[in-house]
Amino acid sequence: MHLATIRTGTTTRAVKRVDSGTSPVLVDLGYVDLGALLADPDGLTRAAAIDGGTTYDAATADFAPPVINPDKVICVSHNYGEHYRVLGLNIPESPRLSTKFSTALIGANDEIVKPADAHALDCAVELAIVIGRTVRHASDDEAAAAIAGFTVMNDVTDRDLEFQAEEWGLGNIWDRSTPIGPYLVTPDDLPGGIAPTLALTTTIDGRPVQSGSTADLHFDPVHVVRRASRFMELRPGDIVATGSPSSPAHDHGPEAHLQAGQRIVVSIDGIGECRNTVVAADA
């Protein structure tokens, strides 16, 4: 299934994409967002069974983040083999984890707000896991069962702040800086299922700046979920970003840093893409 959360006037609705005719439609699933759907133990089963009701045009839909207010947003740093090699880093024994806040998340087509004091922003496509059931101290089987599906994230980061503070997480927690979505795609709809093999790309104003494949992930999604669950209870709707391929902008020097007016597209085959314009903050 391809599931999403869309804005409809003053509220939001969880929807399922149905590819019928010449244009896909989005079928209302009866929940305010995918977070509420995933919190219902029967939510995914009910979503699969719905084939009619209120519909919306997928082509004109206003996509919100799939989960409006996740309890946790967890990020893995440097998780692609090629990225380790490009940066000359030793591969760690376990995933390096950091966090974001839900206020950083924006919809797949929303504007990325560039803070006035952020001078070295870059972008990075990431496969993000969406948790579908509560899990703690997970085994491999439990971690796999906890993965509801996958979505696309653009992990926009201020490299100056990150390296100045010598802290991996501080540079990527800006409000309204992290596009995610548009769809949560369940594993049964992806090649490789719970460990999908998918191409990832990033372009800036149509210029390719990043490409890779999730086949190059050093720590696969099950490993990442198992590791994160060692330290915290993962709950339905939590987001776990799995890291980015090589060649994000900071690998290419200051000329590659994001500027207001630029158009960023991050894409993962089989899931979708985030298409966002960078805008300057009011203050």
| Tens-digit pLDDT profile for residues 12-38 | 999 999 987 778 999 999 999 999 999
Taking every pair of Cα atoms in the chain, the longest distance, rounded to a whole number of angstroms, is: 54
Tens of pLDDT, residue by residue over 227-237, are 999 999 999 99
According to the model, what pLDDT value does residue 98 have? 87
**How many angstroms separate the CA atoms of 278 and 115, rounded?**
10
Tens of pLDDT, residue by residue over 94-139, are 788 989 999 999 999 999 988 887 778 889 999 999 999 999 999 9
Exposure b/e, 36-59, CB count within 10 A at least 16 = b: bbbbeeebbeebeeeeeeeebebe
According to the model, what pLDDT value does residue 171 have? 60
**How many angstroms separate the CA atoms of 24 and 222, rounded?**
31
Averaged pLDDT score across all residues of the chain: 89
**How many angstroms separate the CA atoms of 219 and 225, rounded?**
10
**Model confidence band, residue 52 (pLDDT cutoffs 50, 70, 90):** confident
**How many angstroms separate the CA atoms of 129 and 217, rounded?**
13
**How many angstroms separate the CA atoms of 113 and 100, rounded?**
16
What is the model's pTM? Answer: 0.92
- Is 276's pLDDT higher than 80? yes
